[in-house]
Amino acid sequence: MLKPTQIIELRRGPLDAAKIAKIVAVIRTGGVMVYPTDTFYGLGAGAYSETAVRKVYSLKKREKGKPLSVVVSGIEMAEKIAAFLPPSFLGLSRAFWPGPLTLVIKAKPLFPNEMLGPGGSLALRLPDVPWLLELVRRTDIPITATSANISGKKEIDSGKEVIEVFKGKVDLIVDGGKTPGGLPSTIVDLTSEKPRVLREGAIPSERLRPYL
């Protein structure tokens, strides 16, 4: 059975307080949204909620045990949810956040186990999307940042396609039109003694080298 899906248009200007309040309500009540990022569209849910996280896995048809990344509102939120932050985290985050860089850290036991990586690791994003960062600040909850697609299929950069795929399946869609697309975020693992680039994406490895 299809569920009613709210659609909020972003393309006509920044989101006002009333629209952000609607999205906050969806996240705080365990709902799932689709939203534009600085690369592709993402599937967003409150990352502390086991029920909401399971909805995301189900929507993506994603295998359990494949971790999810989250959007944080800034370095202060990262400090609250991390077991510890190595010096390389501060250098990288100050140089490349907000932007298409994902940093993998050891997390505190605040999250459903199924969304964490080996050793309780968690991937953090701070995209260059001001309204989204304001939303995370308002909810005070990290929001899942996995791409809004069925596992194994290409990422989506079109608001029209997102509506076709997810209308009736999620609680809310933020239609931002065409997203920048291109390469996905670069992922750097900071959980071991030596940082490792797990995926080279929008930020080339050579730009990261001075901080590693």
* Close Cβ partners of 67 (under 8 Å, ≥ 6 residues apart): 115, 116, 117, 121, 122, 123
Alpha-carbon gap, residue 75 to 89, rounded angstroms: 9
| Predicted local distance difference test score (pLDDT) of residue 12 | 62
Encode pLDDT of 49-64 as tens digits: 999 999 999 999 888 7
Alpha-carbon gap, residue 30 to 53, rounded angstroms: 9
Question: What are the structure tokens assigned to 31, written together?
Answer: 């709902």
Encode pLDDT of 93-106 as tens digits: 999 999 999 999 99
In 3D space, the residue among 43, 115, 103, 40 whose CA is nearest the CA of residue 77 turns out to be 103
| Predicted local distance difference test score (pLDDT) of residue 13 | 64
| Predicted local distance difference test score (pLDDT) of residue 58 | 94
C-alpha distances in angstroms, 17 versus 117, 122, 133, 163?
35, 30, 13, 23
The superfamily (CATH) of domain 6-211 is: DHBP synthase (3.90.870.10)
Give every residue of the chain whose pLDDT is below 70, as ranges.
1-2, 11-14
Encode pLDDT of 9-24 as tens digits: 986 666 788 888 999 9
